[in-house]
Chains A and B, each alone.
Chain A
Amino acid sequence: MRETWVVGAATNRFGKMAETGREAASKVALAAIESAGMEPKDIEQTFVSNAFGVAERQAHLGPLINTALGIPEAPSCTIESACSSSSASLHEAYVHVAGGFSDAVLVVGVEKLSHLDTLAATSYFAMGADYAFETRNGATFPGLYATLASAYQKRFGTPPEEFGAVAVKNHANAAMNPHAHFQKPISMATYLASPVIASPLRLYDCCPFSDGASAVVVASRERYPSPPSEPLVIRASTRSGSVADLHDRATLTGLPATRTAAAKAYRQAGVEPGQIDFAEVHDCFTVAEVMALEDLGFFSPGTAGAATVEGVTAHDGRFPVNPSGGLKAKGHPISATGAAQVVEIFEQFNGRAGGRQVPKTGLALAHNVGATGGSCSVHIFGRR
């Protein structure tokens, strides 16, 4: 396997896009390529993620993006893995480059849902679940994570303030991220006063419906030895799956796919969880961040919420988590999310994260979940 790194990265402001997903994806792709010191003609392959392109009446986005970039002959394909779509694309890019099939691959994730009303968007999000055995029984995306939250609270006696601490932290981080959907901090009182969406989860436990686009360029060190920015060496790129339906799982207080993807990633990178300096984890709901921190081995079961209350995971804490603001407050444009996590790590490694800059950037982990954990990606990045 060849040494492979992320040499360029870009995102737009998450929230509500006036332009189409196609336009936004093409613009961030060009920005990512330029940040890598490359020209579009250097791109040999494009992996696109756009899970809900049908909401814009558009599929087969790759050729449209490549055409907009002046490289219509470059091959492309769309990779869908619900909320982990663009981290799945990143994994495929890694396989292509590390395996010697390409020297420069573009990964683009994009989603536009803001033109839908809440009912339609909720219905689209629910498509990541099992329609016949979950959604038909009334499951929604918040409802499924809320069900996990109810089991988690029952097992560990978790008070709402521990979930609230995740929301307060991530909104504070997002307020320092010019690309974040939400730019205002919230207080614990605001969190506790917010309406229940799906018990026990309140409004501020939930990520927003966001539009957004993100892109990264993956290249071989052999062909691109001197990128203009500090590259992210891909020390591990792993994916895992589990039974999709919550009712078929042995546990309701964690995600098995996270545990298996993480175990593979630590083995591939040759590191232990305690060596990771900071992480971007999948916090579509506050309980998801709490479970992720435990499933990834950073905290023992039932303790991540209390650690969050104590400030351990703040951007200037002992182990920063989601300095970008996470899905929770930076926003969650489904297929742009996995790539956006990498954009944040790229900016952190290059010391360009402003007020949310974390103290140590030697090793970072990105964790991205598809729906309720039927699929999961874990990437570990280091320095050259």
Chain B
Amino acid sequence: MGDESTTEGHSIEEYRRGYEQERRLRGFRSQCGFTTVTWGLLCPQCGKRDLAEADLVGTGRVAAFSVQQVPSDEFLNDVPYAYVVVDLDGGGRITGWMPSVRSEAELTIGDRVRFVESYKSGVHFERDSKDMP
């Protein structure tokens, strides 16, 4: 199958391709207001079948984070880095990583960040230049 395989409609693979190759954060919105990037068929908040695909805004603020010193195998050569939960402008939360943040003192909850093109798999965030001193 390899490169010839295709997926119908939304899929985890399309989400990955979106952030890795197209600089898009593809997500879903429900009419109840819930917005997510997590793949699903029905809304986990209201249970309705109304999840509609949406392009999410690639900027936001850090809601929580942790600087990793002990990685899993896929990030073996990347520590230290920050694992972040980001509240996106326009709605929705997402997790990602910030390779430029190498200590806890370099990031604060509430800091502005933006999604950028990455050199490896994973949703890559960097500080939003508008937030730079």
List A residues at the B interface (Cβ < 8 Å).
118-120, 122-123, 126, 130, 132-140, 142-144, 146-151, 154, 195-201, 243, 245-248, 252
A118's partner among B36, B70, B93, B109 (CB-CB below 8 A) is B70
Interface residues of B in 61-88 (CB under 8 A from A): 63-76, 78, 81, 83, 85
Residues of A within 8 A of B121 (CB): 136
B69's partner among A132, A137, A147, A195 (CB-CB below 8 A) is A195
Instruction: Flag whether B37 is at the interface (Cβ < 8 A).
Output: yes
A248's partner among B36, B68, B71 (CB-CB below 8 A) is B36
Q: Are B67 and A199 in contact (CB under 8 A)?
A: yes
| Distance A133 CA – B72 CA, assembled complex (angstroms) | 15
**CB-CB nearest in chain B for A244:** B38
| Distance A243 CA – B67 CA, assembled complex (angstroms) | 24
Q: Are A140 and B64 in contact (CB under 8 A)?
A: no
B66's partner among A119, A135, A201, A248 (CB-CB below 8 A) is A201
B95's partner among A119, A133, A142, A150 (CB-CB below 8 A) is A133
A133's partner among B37, B74, B81, B109 (CB-CB below 8 A) is B37
Known A-B contacts A123-B72, A136-B121, A246-B85; the reply to A200 vs B63 at CB < 8 A is no
Residues of B within 8 A of A144 (CB): 66, 83
Residues of B within 8 A of A243 (CB): 38, 44
- Closest 9 pairs (CB-CB, A-B): A146-B66, A138-B97, A199-B104, A151-B64, A247-B93, A199-B67, A123-B73, A123-B72, A137-B122
Distance (whole angstroms) from the CB of B101 to the closest CB of chain A: 10
Interface residues on B, range: 35 or more
Q: Are B94 and A247 in contact (CB under 8 A)?
A: yes
A122's partner among B72, B78, B83 (CB-CB below 8 A) is B72
Q: Are A246 and B95 in contact (CB under 8 A)?
A: yes
Instruction: Flag whether B51 is at the interface (Cβ < 8 A).
Output: no
Q: Are B69 and A197 in contact (CB under 8 A)?
A: yes
Instruction: Flag whether B96 is at the interface (Cβ < 8 A).
Output: yes
Contact code string B92-119 (vs A, CB < 8 Å = 1, else 0): 0111110000011000010000000000
Residues of B within 8 A of A195 (CB): 69
Residues of B within 8 A of A119 (CB): 71-73, 76
Distance (whole angstroms) from the CB of B116 to the closest CB of chain A: 13
Distance (whole angstroms) from the CB of B2 to the closest CB of chain A: 20
Known A-B contacts A154-B109, A248-B93; the reply to A147 vs B66 at CB < 8 A is yes
Instruction: Flag whether B24 is at the interface (Cβ < 8 A).
Output: no
* A-B pairs with beta carbons under 8 Å apart, 17 shown: A119-B76, A120-B73, A123-B72, A137-B122, A138-B72, A139-B95, A140-B70, A149-B66, A150-B109, A154-B109, A195-B69, A196-B67, A198-B66, A199-B103, A247-B36, A248-B38, A248-B93
Query: What total count of A-B pairs have CB within 8 Å?
Result: 121
B85's partner among A122, A135, A252 (CB-CB below 8 A) is A252
Distance (whole angstroms) from the CB of B94 to the closest CB of chain A: 6
Q: Are A132 and B36 in contact (CB under 8 A)?
A: no
**CB-CB nearest in chain B for A195:** B69
| Distance A333 CA – B36 CA, assembled complex (angstroms) | 33
Residues of B within 8 A of A197 (CB): 69-70
Q: Are A138 and B78 in contact (CB under 8 A)?
A: yes
Residues of A within 8 A of B67 (CB): 196, 198-199
Besides A135-B74, A199-B66, A246-B95, 4 more A-B contacts (Cβ < 8 Å) are A137-B95, A140-B68, A199-B103, A200-B104
**CB-CB nearest in chain A for B73:** A123
Q: Are A143 and B66 in contact (CB under 8 A)?
A: yes
**CB-CB nearest in chain B for A250:** B45
Among A126, A132, A136, A245, chain B packs the most CB atoms within 10 A around the CB of: A136
| Distance A71 CA – B65 CA, assembled complex (angstroms) | 50
**CB-CB nearest in chain A for B76:** A119
Instruction: Flag whether B12 is at the interface (Cβ < 8 A).
Output: yes
Residues of B within 8 A of A146 (CB): 66, 83
Q: Are B71 and A138 in contact (CB under 8 A)?
A: yes
**CB-CB nearest in chain A for B35:** A248
Distance (whole angstroms) from the CB of B76 to the closest CB of chain A: 7
Residues of A within 8 A of B64 (CB): 147-148, 150-151, 154, 246, 252
Distance (whole angstroms) from the CB of A180 to the closest CB of chain B: 23
**CB-CB nearest in chain A for B13:** A132
